[in-house]
A and B are shown apart, each in its own frame.
Chain A
């Protein structure tokens, strides 16, 4: 049970959250996405091999950290390729419910309920195009993970700054919680 619920969370953050952002914000061309059904929505998942490889590498690591409950934040940063300027910053604050121990057992929450919460977040990501500025020019993205300090980081991960945006406007999205994690989503973008 515990495993299943956590997996939902991981799936959201990695596969669907990141994919939705990449698709909606047009970081990759729309033709490279294929449609799947998830959470009662049709979502777009990239069919590009390179990108999938990269995402899988990231996700598997994040998964590990999520299980050990050491992740604090997961951030997707969209940067301008030419100027390397941070244009958008999608932040998912992960609140680990550390009170849960093996004895206590997780809180009760039905999968359906969790799914609907996740769906509403994805809906918000989709609707965010109404207020986000147009991304002109080619963009790239980065995934940042905020973890506890004392964690072993594999070599493929490097240290990085927080990639904050100066003079930014922040919009808080809905949050959702699983039995062990609570995720607050937020997007920040440059004010004009």
Chain B
């Protein structure tokens, strides 16, 4: 370090500078480092072998400041060059070209090398080459050529262009300046005695680029770099010349790029005319030694010449003494007569018949020669190092594993705690139910007492009547003896008939069955004994509540017989009269006492075996409990199993068999339920119609279930279990009997509670039901169902305020509004609908499923558990490690909000990032968190991938996929792609805004897509559960459908126009036993509903005619009516869950038809697209 300034002549300056430390590095470390590089060259097996070469060459340059031969830089460069000469990767690699230039600078004729590079297309895309080449030409004095080289660079689009441009400008400036200097000097006629300038640059002369001995005047080269002082003095003088810059002459300066120059220029080839070939010495003439003219006769020498006998002479080979102090495998000597590209050439001309049987290439790889052993050692060390590294990684991995395990354990602990809490809460619930039960029993007892009293009263009245009659008889006897008996009979029978129960009506059907009286008859029966008004009202109320859900029963005959009194004002009232409750107990049937006339209801349970006739007034639903054990075991999945213990309150009718279906079976009437499930407001005009469709069971309960555990046997006379109202704050109760409600609060509450208990063990049911709301449903809004016999409506007018206590899940119906609805309806429609928390989407159920997953949710790559800030619009937030700028809220539900957000990604190239919507995301924020949707979305993608066959339509892009789901304790946020083009509903609305009719081809195309989606989704055993037009994002039609006659390919190749979103209410069918049937037709109904909207821009209205359901709209005449009708027919009239329509074959028919009219599609697709955009 200290003496570097004293030996500056021994240091070769480098363009890029030097490390000062290299001046003082000592030989041994140098050697060691070199050895490392050498062995790295031989053992490297990555994919960028040039890297080692390049760093080695740079290191050599630094480590051997003297340059020259000590570092073997030239050979190294040469080897590097020849090794990668034909490697495409490095053709325009900056490092590789650097090596070339270094090599060229070391040779005598760099120009030749550059020309070769240019010819071979090496580095022609880099400024580096042109810069070095032009500099080389400039130094040699070929200014035109240098300029032409820069021009070449510009033409070839060398990068970086700026640099090239600057270099060219600088070059031109230098030329100008140089010419200036010369001109000025000539002007001054050399009178000024110019000194030789120290360190100035001189022009070279001749082949060897020697500098001339006269070093002033023209011999000086233009100054390189720096600020010109003289130039500023001459600024005003316009240069009287032009810089030569002519394209036409370029070819004359440099040969065109041919690429044919396979062999490197080397001196022997280029200069062969001027060089003598070295010939064998033997060819030289040998002058024979002339025998001397005088031959001296041989005389015997005086000494004896030793004549060795060849036999006894040992043959010896001359021994070569080993070089002392030199290694056997010393560093290679550089070739003396350097042919710059000798080795490259040699390599090409290797004898193909020779094949080295050792790794020759490796031995002579670097600048040093390696022995076999050294190579082996290097390889061994390399492996060792790799192994160590691997071990280290393994160790790290294990550590991570351990910490993860720790975390998992913690998590498990937390889960256990949560479980405990859950159990506690369950225990509490049970306790509560027990209390309720107790209260109920007390109530029953009161009732019993009351009944007993009443009976006594009746008895007394009867007696009184008897007495009265007798008295009258006695009186009349006095008047006329003949008519006495008749009269008596009449009055008695009239009295009895007033107490008649429906059981009387039903006697014809089954003798062993008891039917409960309707409230109506009860009412009449009660008028006579004149019980309190309150009691009467209570009966009515309770009946109303429990019967509200009963849509149909077998006994509508009797229902019709009864008067329709009270109907108009009570929405759900009709059942009161029409539905008698039957309690049927096979075992105890024979014991049925004759409670009919006295008590309106009778309940039998197996255990008790005793008729509890008195209680029946409080039990307005039937209990049919053949085998309580069996069904209990069937429901073990559900958390509230404990409810089954209460057999008396068991609202489920269960068969002994194991075969459970969870859907209405059979007749078209079951469609009613489906229709209602798909958010069907009922037509107000039909409210007054009382008749009930005649089906075995209708699974409609007002708000909660669309699935019923049902009895599918043929016991026709058994009416199903009807679940009553489930809400404690009972909207319809208020509705119907608002005035009398207060006084009977106690009764209704208890009853309701017990009902709820039984309700909760119904199998998981998709909550699809949007039964809206008020009785004043305007005509034309939503779906309307007609029946030919009239429709029994049990609309429940729900008040939002009433149900606030159960806000588990809210669906917003605002988006459902068809375009032609007035304001008032909109207000009505926008009421949210609450969905029962006790359905399969109940947090516990889902939690149970999610816990049991074989692949835990947290292991998904898009699952992020992290604390989150509350998300507000116009604020930025961090989710899953990314920064999002939240923009506007684009959608809103009860507890979910959807925001549009922009991802602020600072890493990406902004020119790319500005493209369209690449960076926009939709954030679906839910509180409480909803991991279920994430699970479903991931499952769908997984299952679709599994089922994907090549050539088939790939619907994966059509299913919403979650980029990331962030979860914390009280909220969740799903990050999905943002689709700017709106929903299918928006699309339809835009069409009607433009007064544009739907084209059949477009409708066909979209319908096919819809069918594909539903079909594939069901194949994955997933039910979406909420298919509607606004759950499809419309991405735009594909006007560029491939022209091809193969339908499958036609659809498989194009992009998907629709994306299905919102899987929050989906069902994973694989989570239920295989013999469970699901209401997949909910989705089918949703599908045709969506298609209907697409076709007619209206929501579907259906009616029933001669047993089949039809839509009110008719298809345009020109369309393929039969095809469309078939679709609607099959999807609307699904016979049973096991006989689902074959969507695939339907779709096939659609596709075939689409093929015939696809020209229409091409014609109008872009028109529709522009509308949608």
Residues of A within 8 A of B (CB): 26-32, 48, 50-51, 81-82, 120, 123-124, 126-140, 169, 171, 189-192
Q: How far is the CA of A27 from the CA of B170 in the complex (A)?
A: 15
Contacts of B225 in A (CB 8 A): 26, 135-139
State the Cβ distance, A107 to closest chain B Cβ, in Å: 25
* Interface hub of A31, A135, A139 (most chain B Cβ within 10 A): A31
Is the Cβ of A123 less than 8 Å from the Cβ of B227? no
In Å, the complex CA distance between A189 and B166 comes to: 23
Asked, given contacts A130-B4, A137-B166, whether A30 binds B20 with beta carbons under 8 Å apart, the answer is no
Complex Cα gap A168–B989 (Å): 66
Bound-state Cα–Cα, A190 to B19, Å: 11
Contact with A along B220-241 (1 / 0, CB 8 A): 0001111111100000000000
Stretch at the interface among B195-203, B789-797, B810-818: B195-203
Q: Which residue of B lies closest to A47 (CB)?
A: B229
Interchain nearest-CB distance for A189 vs B (Å): 6
Residues of A within 8 A of B226 (CB): 26-29, 135, 138-139
Instruction: Kindly specify which of B5-13, B84-92, B348-356 makes contact with the partner chain.
Output: B5-13
Would you call B18 an interface residue if the criterion is a C-beta within 8 Å of the partner chain's C-beta atoms? yes
B611 contacts A by Cβ under 8 Å: no
B223, A131: Cβ atoms under 8 Å? no
Contacts of B197 in A (CB 8 A): 30-31
The one of B4, B15, B224, B230 in contact with A133, judged by C-beta atoms closer than 8 angstroms, is B15
Chain A residues near B200 (CB-CB < 8 A): 30-31
Chain A residues with Cβ below 8 Å from B198 are 30
Which residue of the partner chain, among B14, B19, B227, contacts A27 with CB atoms under 8 Å?
A: B227
CA of A48 to CA of B226, assembled, Å: 14
Closest chain-A Cβ to B344's Cβ sits at a distance in Å of: 29
Minimal beta-carbon separation of A137 from chain B (angstroms): 6
Q: Give the A-B contact count at a CB cut-off of 8 A.
A: 90
Q: Does B65 contact A (CB under 8 A)?
A: yes
Q: How far is the CA of A140 from the CA of B226 in the complex (A)?
A: 8
Contact of A131 among B19, B166, B170, B227 (CB under 8 A): B19
Q: How far is the CB of B686 from chain A (nearest CB, A)?
A: 83
Q: Are B20 and A171 in contact, CB atoms less than 8 angstroms apart?
A: yes
Query: Does residue B17 face the partner (Cβ distance < 8 Å to A)?
Result: yes
Chain A residues within 8 Å of B170, by CB:
137
A123 vs B6: C-alpha distance when bound (angstroms): 8
Nearest-neighbour CB distance to chain B for A126, whole angstroms, equals: 7
* Partner of B227 from A31, A130, A132, A140 at Cβ < 8 Å: A140
Are A131 and B199 neighbours in the complex by a CB distance under 8 Å? no
Contact mask B8-50 → A, CB, 8 Å, 1/0?
A: 1001011111111001000000000000000000000000000
Assess whether B229 is in contact with A29, with CB atoms less than 8 Å apart: yes
Extra inter-chain contacts (5) besides given A133-B16, A169-B20, CB under 8 Å: A81-B227, A129-B13, A131-B4, A133-B14, A135-B226
| Cross-chain pairs A/B with CB under 8 angstroms, 28 sampled | A27-B226, A28-B227, A28-B229, A29-B228, A29-B229, A30-B197, A31-B230, A32-B229, A51-B229, A123-B6, A126-B5, A126-B8, A127-B6, A129-B8, A130-B8, A130-B11, A130-B23, A131-B11, A131-B13, A131-B17, A131-B18, A131-B23, A138-B226, A138-B227, A139-B226, A169-B17, A169-B19, A192-B17
Complex: how many Å from CA A120 to CA B11? 18
Q: Which A residues are in CB contact (< 8 Å) with B16?
A: 133-134, 192
The reply to whether A127 and B8 form a contact with Cβ atoms under 8 Å apart is: yes
CA separation between A31 and B199, bound complex, in Å?
A: 9
Which B residues lie within 8 Å of A126 (CB)? 5, 8
Closest residue on chain B to residue A35 by CB atoms: B198
> A95 vs B1080: C-alpha distance in the bound complex, in angstroms?
90
| B5 A133 Cβ-Cβ under 8 A | no
Contacts of B5 in A (CB 8 A): 120, 123-124, 126-128
Which B residues touch A132, using CB under 8 A?
13, 17
Give the top 4 A-B pairs by smallest Cβ distance, nearest first.
Answer: A133-B17, A127-B5, A130-B11, A131-B18
Residues of A within 8 A of B4 (CB): 127, 130-131
Tell me, in angstroms, the Cα distance from A29 to B201 when the chains sit together.
11
Tell me the smallest distance from the CB of A69 to a CB of chain B, in Å: 30
- Cβ-defined contact, B13 with A30, below 8 A: no
Q: Give chain A residues whose Cβ lies under 8 Å from the Cβ of B14.
A: 133-134
The 8 A CB mask of B1017-1050 against A (1 = contact, 0 = none) is: 0000000000000000000000000000000000
Considering only CB atoms, which chain A residue lies closest to B198 in the complex? A30
The interface centre, meaning the residue of B8, B15, B23, B226 with most chain A CB atoms within 10 A of its CB, is: B226
Residues in A whose Cβ lies below 8 Å from that of B199: 30
Q: Which A residue sits closest to B173, measured CB to CB?
A: A138
Q: How far is the CB of B195 from chain A (nearest CB, A)?
A: 9
Chain B residues lying within 8 Å of A30, measured Cβ to Cβ, are: 197-200, 223
Closest to A25 in B: B226
B residues within 8 A CB of A191?
17
Compute how far the CA of A131 lies from the CA of B230 in the bound complex, rounded to whole angstroms: 29
- Compute how far the CA of A30 lies from the CA of B202 in the bound complex, rounded to whole angstroms: 13
Q: A29: which of B17, B20, B23, B223 is its contact (CB, 8 Å)?
A: B223
Q: How far is the CB of A53 from chain B (nearest CB, A)?
A: 13
User: Known: A82-B166, A129-B8. Is A134-B227 also a contact (CB below 8 A)?
Assistant: no
Asked if B227 contacts A139 (CB within 8 A), the reply is: yes
A78 to B369, CA, bound (A): 45
Which single residue of chain B is at the shortest CB-CB distance from A42? B198
- Which residues of A lie under 8 Å from residue B15 when comparing CB positions? 133-134
Complex-state Cα separation, A120 to B3, whole angstroms: 10
C-alpha gap A135/B224 in the complex (Å): 10
Question: Which of A81, A120, A138 has the most B CB atoms < 10 Å from its CB?
Answer: A138
Give A130 Cβ to nearest chain B Cβ, in Å: 4
Q: Kindly list chain B residues whose C-beta atoms are within 8 Å of the C-beta of A124.
A: 5
User: What string of 1s and 0s marks CB contacts (under 8 Å) between B403-419 and chain A?
Assistant: 00000000000000000
Minimum CB–CB distance from B174 to chain A (whole Å) comes to 11
Q: What residues on B are CB-neighbors of A127 within 8 Å? A: 4-6, 8
* Distance between A74 CB and nearest chain B CB, rounded to angstroms: 21
User: What is the bound-complex CA distance between A28 and B227, given in angstroms?
Assistant: 6
Q: Are B65 and A130 in contact (CB under 8 A)?
A: yes
A137–B4 CA distance with the chains assembled, in angstroms: 27
Q: Tell me which residues across on chain B come within 8 A of A138, comparing CB atoms.
A: 225-227
Q: Which residues from B are CB-within-8-Å of A140? A: 227
A169 to B16, CA, bound (A): 12
Q: What is the bound-complex CA distance between A81 and B228, given in angstroms? A: 12
Minimum distance in angstroms from A30 CB to a CB of chain B? 5
**A45–chain B nearest beta-carbon distance, Å:** 13
Q: State A31–B230 Cα separation when bound (angstroms).
A: 10
A189 to B760, CA, bound (A): 80
Q: How far is the CA of A131 from the CA of B279 in the complex (A)?
A: 48
Contacts of B6 in A (CB 8 A): 123, 127
Nearest Cβ in chain A — how far from B112, in angstroms?
Answer: 24
Complex: chain B residue closest to A26, CB-CB: B226
A104 to B166, CA, bound (A): 60
Minimum CB distance partner of B15 in chain A: A134
Chain B: CB-nearest residue to A138: B227
CB distance from A24 to the nearest CB of B (A): 9
Residues in B whose Cβ lies below 8 Å from that of A28: 226-227, 229
Within the complex, the shortest CB–CB distance from A75 to chain B, in Å, comes to: 20
Q: In the complex the two chains form, is A131's CB within 8 Å of B229's CB? A: no
- Complex contacts, B11 vs chain A, CB 8 Å: 130-131
B194: nearest residue on chain A (CB-CB)? A31
What is the CA–CA distance of A48 and B23 in the complex, to the nearest angstrom? 36
Query: Given the complex of chains A and B, what is the CA–CA distance between A109 and B200 in angstroms?
Result: 39
Q: A31-B200, A123-B5 are in contact. Are A130 and B229 (CB under 8 A)?
A: no
Q: How far is the CB of B63 from chain A (nearest CB, A)?
A: 13
Q: Is A131 a contact partner of B20 (Cβ separation < 8 A)?
A: yes
CA of A164 to CA of B65, assembled, Å: 28
- Chain B positions within 8 Å of A134 at CB level: 13-17
Q: How far is the CA of A133 from the CA of B198 in the complex (A)?
A: 20
Min C-beta distance of A152 to chain B, whole Å:
32
With a cutoff of 8 Å between Cβ atoms, the chain B residues found around residue A32 in the complex are: 229
Question: CA of A48 to CA of B5 in the docked complex: distance in angstroms?
Answer: 28
Q: List residues of chain B with CB within 8 A of the CB of A171.
A: 20
Judge whether A130 and B166 touch: CB under 8 Å.
no
B10's nearest neighbour on chain A, judged by CB, is A130
